[in-house]
Amino acid sequence: MDTQVEELLAAFSDLRRHANVQACVGRPFEKEKRTVIPIGKVSTAFGLKIGPETDAESIEELIGGGTDTRPLALIELTPGGTRVKSLVNRQLLMLVRSITFGWAIAWLVWAVTRIVSEKR
The pLDDT tens digits for 23-46 are 666 778 888 888 988 888 777 777
Res 87: pLDDT: 82
Residue at 50: amino acid letter: I
**pTM score, two decimals?**
0.47
Cβ atoms of 75 and 82 closer than 8 Å: yes
Contacts of 115 (CB under 8 A, 6+ apart): none
Question: Residue 66 pairs with which residues in a beta bridge?
Answer: 45
Alpha helices, H only, the chain: 2-18, 21-25, 90-119
Q: Once rounded to an integer, what is the mean pLDDT over residues 10-35?
A: 73
- 22 or 40, which is more confident? 40
